[in-house]
A and B are shown apart, each in its own frame.
Chain A
């Protein structure tokens, strides 16, 4: 269900500027990269693949 806001007041530029946090963006990117580069991740995937292959055989 759509909600309609009439007489909407835009937030001020100062308010929006105060929400800027480029460091947070960089942190999120680092967390993402660390997750995909984590050897445990590929280790677990590899183990699961080999196990399922062995069960299948």
Chain B
């Protein structure tokens, strides 16, 4: 499975980013390069889950507002800045579900669905799509989020771990268990 390459950064890039963060702590205007760098990935993360372009735009903007207002609290502990932004995005998206502004949506593209069917050892027949939908409805939100990040968004276990605040190994174990459960529910 090919993974998203956006997350993995060189040390030089991380250092440059940290310098920008330090400048932005003093003046929010200096946050612009980080906004330009991460706006697209945050927007994509949000719109896939809320399926409403205007709302996704609004949520994305709020993610950056929160990031800037809480920037003083950000400390680099080996976790990339993008993961910190995704954590805020995750919390904002769930808030929109709680406020009933959006309905939880799972967006699966053509390529991802084929890979999921390969994992489940079945073909892409309509009947199997219906079975997959049924199984995905039955797993809990945490399990769904793991399946979504790993199989529909191609995130590495390391990144998943950083977004959900667990170790890389733990993310791997949790995702494996979620997939096993999905397989069982799929066969029911």
Contacts and interface: CB of A to CB of B under 8 A. Distances in A.
The A interface, classified by DSSP as helix, strand, loop or mixed, is mixed
Given A10-B44, A16-B39, A25 B109 contact: no
B84 interface: no
Interface residues of B, number: 36
Contact of B108 (A1, A4, A11, A13): A4
Interface in A2-51: 2-11, 13, 16-17, 19-22, 24-26, 28-29, 32
Interface of A: 1-11, 13, 16-17, 19-22, 24-26, 28-29, 32
B108 A25 contact: no
A32 B47 contact: no
Contacts, number: 79
Interface of B: 28-29, 31-32, 35-36, 39-40, 43-44, 47-48, 51, 53, 57, 60-62, 64-65, 68-69, 103-110, 113, 129, 133, 136-137, 144
